[in-house]
Chains A and B, each alone.
Chain A
Amino acid sequence: MKKRSRIITASVAVMSVSLALSACSGAAGGSNGGNNQSINVLMVNNPQMADLQKLTDDNFTKDTGIKVNYTSLPENDARAKISTEFSAQAGQYDVASISAYEVPSFAANGWLSPLDSIASSSDFNQGDVFPSLTQALTVNGSLYAEPFYGESSFLMYRKDIFAAKGLTMPSNPTWQQVADLAAQVDGAEPDMKGICLRGQAGWGQVFAPLTTVVNTFGGTWFDKDWNAGVNSPEFEAATQFYVDLVKAHGEAGAAQAGFTECLTNMTQGKVAMWYDATSAAGSLEASDSPVAGKMGYVAAPVDKTKSSGWLWSWAWGIQKASKNQDAAQKFIEWASSSKYENLVGTQLGWSQVPAGKRSSTYDNADYTKASSAFFQQTKDAILSADPTNPGLQPRPAPGIQFVAIPEFADMATQVSQGVSAAIAGQQTVQQALSDGQAVAQAVGDKYKK
C-alpha cells in the first residue's frame, strides 16, 4: 500500500502542476483579442521568412511596440491552413503569406483587406516594386498583397566542370542544347549527374519547372475557351522531353526530388546543372556553400518562345476578419520596404536580402557586389516574365507556372502524381497525361458555362 500511495501522490502532483500550467497558458493565449499591440502572422518557412522572424523583435517591435507572433509551416501545410483560415474568416491570423495564385479568388470572396493606403504611401514607394508583381496582386484596381520577395527561374551550372570538359554554356540556351550538355557533363565527376530537375508530385513541385517547359514547347493547360490541352502533342512532347531528360541524366531519386533535394545535390556536387528558382542562387553563393564562386547562371532554357522563366512572389495579405488592421498594415509596410532589405543586408549579409521585388535593390552597390554572379540574370528573368502571355497562345487566366484559378492546385497535383510516377518508371507519360486530360477538362467545363 505504501508504494501505491506514493504513485498516487506523484500523479496528483503531476496533474496539479499541469493544471496550474494550463491556467497560465490560458492567460497567455488571450493575447490575440482586443490587444492591438500584437499581431499573428502565418507564413511558409522559407529561409527569407526565418530571417524576418529573427529581425522582428529588435527592430519592428522595438520601433512600433507591436509584437509579432509567427507560425511558420512547410509550404503544403501553410497553404492548407491559410485557405481554411481565410475561408472561415476565423480571424486567428492578421497577416498571411500569399501569392498571385491566391489573391484573385481570395479578393473576389472578400477575404482580404485592400492595401491601397500602403500603395499610395510615398515612404513605401510602390513605383519601385516591379510592375508585373504589383499587377499580379491587384484585383479590380485594388492592391491586395505586397510582395516580400520575388523570383523567376533560370539555369544554374558548374562553371568549373564545364571549363574542365571544354564546354560552353550559351547565355540563352535552348532545351535541346541543355539536354546535349547534360549528356556531356553526366559523369564528369564520380557520382555526378547532368542536371537536377524537380520530379516530386505536387503542383508547386514538378509542375513549377515543367509548366514553363510546356509553355515554351507551345503547350498550355487551357486554351482561351477553357479547352484542356493536357494531352495535346505540345504538352506531351514537353513532358516526354522533361521525363526523358531527368531519367537519362537527372539526379538520383528524381521522383521524390523537390527544391531542397536539388539544392543538396547541387551543393554536394552530385549534379552539374539545375533549373529552378532564381532565389536558389543566394543559398548556392552563401559563404558556407562548397560551390560558392563556381556557379554560372543563364536564362531559363527555351524552345519556341523567347523567354520562359516563371514569376513568383510570396506576398503579405491582411485577413478581412483581422481585428488589428492598422498594426497589420504597419507590419507589411515594414517587411516589404526597401529599408527592411537594407536591414537584412547590414545585419545578416547582402546575399540573404529578400530581393526580386524592387528595382532599387538592383541599384544598391552593396547588393550587386554580393550577388554579382547572378543579380543581373535574376533581374532580367523577372522583368522578361509575362504572366498574362507566357506561351504561344492566349490564355483564359493569368499565371506562368500555374493557372490562377482555385481548382488548379488540386488538378495539377493529381496530374503531377502521374508525371512523378512516369519519372519513377511506373507508367508512361502518355498514360499520365491522358488521365490528366480528363481531370483538367472537368475543371475547364466548369468555366465554359
Chain B
Amino acid sequence: MSLVTEKPVPVTDAINPPVAQSRFHKDGPLLKRLPLLPALVFMIIVTQVPFVLTLIISFFNWNSLYPNDVYFSWFSNYVAVFVNPDLRNAMLVTVQITVVVVLVSLLLGLGIALLLDRKFWGRGAVRTLLIAPFLIVPVAAALVWKHALYNPSYGLFNGILTWIWGLFGAGSQAPQPDWISQFPLHSVELELIWQWTPFMMLILLAGLQGRPLDVIEAAKMDGASEWQIFRYLTFPHLRQYLELAALLGSIYVVQTFDSVFTLTSGSLGTANLPFTIYQQFTLGHDYGGSSASGVVVVFLSIALATFALRTVSTLLKDESK
C-alpha cells in the first residue's frame, strides 16, 4: 500500500513536499486522512450549515416584525444590496480601515520590534508594557478610548492639552478638538492601531530573533552600517514575517465590530461592513436583506481571500527551508 510516492504530485503540492513524505510507507490514504477528518468535518458543519441557511433566507422577503408576511422573493434582496449605497460605502470604509490599520501598525510594529531587538535597561518591562494593548478586551478598549480619552470635555487628550497650555498660564486658550466628530474615521483607526501594533510587533520580534546572528556579526566586522545591515540582511529575512503579520492582521481587522459600534455607532461615515450588516439585522429587522448582504460579502471576501492567499502560498513555500 505504499501509494504515496507513486502518484504524481498535484501542482499545489509541488510548492512544498513536506519533509517526511517519502520516508514512511505504512499507512494507507484512509488512515492518513483519519486524523484530519474530525477538524475538517467539524469546520464544514459549523461554517457551511449556517452559510447554506443564510443563502436560503437571502431569497426570502422576511422582516422579523412582520412574521405573517414572509415569502419567497427570488433575487429582490440582492437587487436591493446592489442598489443600496450604504453597503457600497461600507465596503470602502472597511477597505480603508483595514489598509490603514494594518499598514500603520505594521510600520510601528516594525520600528518597535527593531528597538526591542537591542539590549537596554528594562527591556523586558518595556516589552510587557507594549504587549498590554493587545490583551485588553476590545470592547473595553473602545469604551475607554471613547469616554476617557477622546471625549472633548473631559477626555484625557484634551485634558493634557489644557494642562500643557496651563503650564504657560493659558489653560483656557488650549485647543480642545472634538476628536471623534472632527476625525471620525481616524479616531476609529487610531484606537485599532493602538490595539494591533503589539500584535504586529510580536510577530516581527519573533522574526528578528530568528535572524542568523553570525552573518550579522560578520557584516559588522566588515564595517557595514546599521542601515546596510537592515536593508540587506534584516529586511529580506523579515519579509516573510511582514507578509504573515499583514495577512493575519487583515483577517482580524476586516471583522472589526466592537470599535465601530462603541466609538461612533457607525455615524459620521464610519460604518464598516460588519456594522452595516448588524444594523440591517437588528435595527431594520430585515432578515432577508441582511442575509443577502452577508452572502455578497462572503463571496467578495472569498475573492479577496484567494488574492491574499497567493501571499500565503509564498509563506507555505518558504517556511520549510
Closest B residue to A420 by beta carbon equals: B267
Q: Mark A241-277, 1 if CB is under 8 A from B, else 0.
A: 0000000000111111000010011001010000000
Contact of B65 among A83, A190, A191, A201 (CB under 8 A): A83
Contact of A252 among B176, B267, B269, B283 (CB under 8 A): B176
Which residues of A have CB within 8 Å of B153? 251-253, 261, 264-265, 268, 270
Contact of B152 among A88, A253, A420 (CB under 8 A): A253
B34 to A: closest C-beta gap in Å: 23
Q: Say whether A421 contacts B267, CB under 8 Å.
A: yes
Contact A253 B180, CB 8 Å, known A201-B265, A268-B153, A268-B154:
yes
Which residues of B have CB within 8 Å of A426? 268-269
Contact of A261 among B64, B151, B285 (CB under 8 A): B151
Which residues of B have CB within 8 Å of A76? 265
Closest B residue to A89 by beta carbon equals: B67
Which residues of B have CB within 8 Å of A270? 153
Q: Say whether A253 contacts B65, CB under 8 Å.
A: no
Q: Say whether B285 contacts A255, CB under 8 Å.
A: no
Which residues of A have CB within 8 Å of B269? 421, 426
B178 at the interface (CB under 8 A from A): yes
A200 at the interface (CB under 8 A from B): yes
Contact A80 B283, CB 8 Å, known A200-B267, A417-B267, A426-B268:
yes
B50 to A: closest C-beta gap in Å: 15
Q: Say whether B65 contacts A109, CB under 8 Å.
A: yes
Roughly how many angstroms separate A88 CA and B62 CA in the complex, as a whole number? Answer: 12
Contact A255 B65, CB 8 Å, known A200-B265, A413-B283:
no
Which residues of A have CB within 8 Å of B154? 264, 268
B124 at the interface (CB under 8 A from A): no
B183 to A: closest C-beta gap in Å: 10
Interface of chain A, helix or strand or loop or mixed?
helix
Q: Say whether B65 contacts A406, CB under 8 Å.
A: yes
Contact A253 B67, CB 8 Å, known A201-B265, A201-B267, A420-B267:
no
B282 at the interface (CB under 8 A from A): yes
Q: Say whether B265 contacts A84, CB under 8 Å.
A: no
B172 at the interface (CB under 8 A from A): yes
B29 at the interface (CB under 8 A from A): no
Which residues of B have CB within 8 Å of A253? 151-153, 178, 180-181
Q: Say whether A252 contacts B67, CB under 8 Å.
A: no
A214 to B: closest C-beta gap in Å: 20
A359 at the interface (CB under 8 A from B): no
Which residues of B have CB within 8 Å of A414? 86
Q: Say whether A255 contacts B64, CB under 8 Å.
A: no
A174 at the interface (CB under 8 A from B): no
A424 at the interface (CB under 8 A from B): yes
Q: Say whether B172 contacts A191, CB under 8 Å.
A: yes
A87 at the interface (CB under 8 A from B): yes
Roughly how many angstroms separate A82 CA and B138 CA in the complex, as a whole number? Answer: 24
Contact A424 B152, CB 8 Å, known A83-B64, A255-B181, A413-B283:
no
A residues 415-449 near B (Cβ < 8 Å) are 416-417, 420-421, 423-426
Roughly how many angstroms separate A79 CA and B278 CA in the complex, as a whole number? Answer: 13
Q: Mark B50-90, 1 if CB is under 8 A from A, else 0.
A: 00000000000001111110000000000000000010000
Which residues of B have CB within 8 Å of A191? 172
Roughly how many angstroms separate A209 CA and B268 CA in the complex, as a whole number? Answer: 20
A residues 5-63 near B (Cβ < 8 Å) are none
B17 at the interface (CB under 8 A from A): no
A336 to B: closest C-beta gap in Å: 25
Closest A residue to B267 by beta carbon equals: A201
Which residues of B have CB within 8 Å of A261? 151, 153
Q: Say whether A421 contacts B268, CB under 8 Å.
A: yes
B112 to A: closest C-beta gap in Å: 29
A116 at the interface (CB under 8 A from B): no
Which residues of B have CB within 8 Å of A265? 153
B209 at the interface (CB under 8 A from A): no
Closest A residue to B86 by beta carbon equals: A414
A-B contacts, 18 of them at CB < 8 A, read A76-B265, A83-B65, A84-B64, A87-B64, A109-B66, A200-B265, A251-B153, A253-B152, A254-B178, A256-B151, A256-B178, A410-B283, A417-B266, A417-B267, A417-B268, A421-B268, A421-B269, A424-B184
- State the A residues within 8 Å of B (CB): 76, 79-80, 83-84, 87-88, 105, 109, 190-191, 200-202, 251-256, 261, 264-265, 268, 270, 406-407, 409-410, 413-414, 416-417, 420-421, 423-426
New contact pairs (20) apart from A84-B282, A87-B67, CB-CB < 8 Å: A83-B64, A109-B65, A109-B68, A191-B172, A202-B267, A252-B178, A253-B180, A254-B178, A256-B151, A268-B153, A406-B63, A406-B65, A410-B283, A410-B284, A410-B286, A413-B279, A413-B283, A421-B267, A423-B181, A426-B269
Q: Which 3 A-B pairs give the minimum distances between C-beta atoms?
A: A201-B267, A253-B152, A80-B282
